[in-house]
Amino acid sequence: MGYFDSLSKMVKESGLTLKEIADKCGDYGVNINPSYISKLQTTRQAPASDEVNIALAKVCKADVDNFRYEAFIEKSPEFLKDFIDKNLRIIRKMSEFYIDTNYENDIPSSISEKTKNFSDYEMVNFIYEEYLLLSHLETDYEAALETKETIKMFDDSMEPRIPKDTLLTVDDSEVNNGDIVFVILTDGSFLIRKYIEIQQKDFTNKIGLISENRWYSSSTIDKHEIKTLRKVKSMTLPI
């Protein structure tokens, strides 16, 4: 849609006059006048500052991050606009294919109708959420572990020993050398690997996380990089 069209749309949908919007922006520490907003709507003015855009979106009860994204794109050089546009078109096509092959009946067409008028920012967020839903991944494993002890094997890094989608029972019992563990690292990433204690003198605080699948790399990490560590106790294979 673009920055200027997005502004006009959210102003119209707010039901407020330009004077009312300008006055309410003062509540967010931004002082502008109605004529400035009018110029923004008709593209006679360069996109506003980030501070002003945030205030405008909040006053109009619009999506703040989406509007800020539109402003960023409008201010970007042409080569960056072209690069982002090409990648977003690829993402949209990939999402259509993914949804068509993973949903049944009339669901793909209903999703297509739903996303038809999405902005690029809204589309990327939607795709991210759908991929998580379709692959049954937990977005917050730590929160999940507080309420349940079962997680799903999310990749094939431990095949053939643990096939993808296997249900794993985990707990916080003592982890020993050679155990299979579920690890959340301080950078937010998570792994299911074989736990190996490294006894060498120069590796006192390090452990090995070993993959069964040769196409995945194993790693050696410092113990302080581990945020959460759970022992895999049992597994249930899907039928």
If asked whether residues 60 and 20 sit together in one domain, one would say yes
| Same-domain pairing of 166 and 120 | no
Q: What is the pLDDT of residues 1-33, one digit of tens each?
A: 789 989 999 999 999 999 999 999 999 999 999
* Residue 105: band (very low, low, confident or very high) from pLDDT cuts 50, 70, 90: low
Per-residue pLDDT, averaged over 202-217, amounts to 82
Per residue in 76-99, pLDDT (tens digit) is 999 998 988 888 888 777 766 666
Number of domains within the chain: 3
Regarding whether 146 and 221 lie in a shared domain, the answer is: yes
- What is the rounded end-to-end Cα distance, in angstroms, of the chain? 46
Higher per-residue pLDDT: 55 or 150: 55
Range of the domain at 91: 78-135
Domain boundary among 108, 135, 162: 135
CATH classification of the domain holding 186: 2.10.109.10
Verify that 71 and 91 share a domain, yes or no: no
CA nearest to 164, candidates 232, 217, 239, 238: 238
Residues 70 and 102 in one domain: no
Query: What's the pTM value of the predicted model, to 2 decimals?
Result: 0.50
| Token reading at 24 | 């309410």
In this structure, the answer to whether residues 130 and 177 fall within a common structural domain is no
Of the candidates 135, 156, 178, which is a domain's last residue?
Answer: 135
Q: Is the pLDDT of residue 137 over 60?
A: no
CA proximity to 54, closest of 80, 19, 76, 27: 27
Both 117 and 146 in one domain: the answer is no
Residue type, 92: R
pLDDT digits (tens, 9 = 90+) for 33-51: 999 999 998 877 789 999 9
Neighbouring C-alpha atoms within 13 Å toward the C-beta of 92 = 16
Residue 2, sorted as left (phi over 0), alpha (psi -120 to 50) or beta, turns out to be left
pLDDT tens, position by position, 56-77: 999 999 989 889 999 999 999 9
114 and 69: one domain?
Answer: no
Q: Which residue has the tokens 């890094």?
A: 157
